[in-house]
Structure 1
Amino acid sequence: MLTQIIAHRGSKGTRPENTLPAFIAAIEDGADGIETDVHLSRDGQLIIMHDELVDRTTNGTGRIVDHTLAELKQLDAGVKYASAYAGTRIPTLDEVVQLLIQYNFTGIFNLEIKTNKIHYEGIEDLVADYFNHHQVPFTLIYSSFYGKSIERLHILQPEVESDSLFKTKVQTAKRLHAQHIVLGYHPDIRWVRVHWLLLPKVQLRPWTVNTERDMRFCYRHRFAGLITDYPGLARRIRKQVQGG
Structure 2
Amino acid sequence: MIMQRSTFTGSPIALHGHDRFADRMRRITDGLLDEGALVTVNCRINGGKAPWFALRVWTGREKDVEKALDAIGIRSLVPMRKGPDHRRRGRVIEGAMMPVIHGYVLVQMIASAEYLAGLLGVEHAIDVLGGCERPMRVSDAEVSRFNTLARGGTYDWERPVDLSLRAGEAVWISAGPFCDRKATVVTPNRNGRGDVVVSISIMGGEVPVTVPLALLKKL
TM category, shorter: under 0.3
Q: Which structure's residues are more often strand, by fraction?
A: 2
Q: Which structure's residues are more often helix, by fraction?
A: 1
User: Quick one: higher RCO (CA 8 Å, sep 6+), 1 or 2?
Assistant: 1
- Compute the TM-score of the two structures, normalised by the length of structure 1: 0.22
Higher radius of gyration, 1 or 2: 2
- Compute the TM-score of the two structures, normalised by the length of structure 2: 0.24
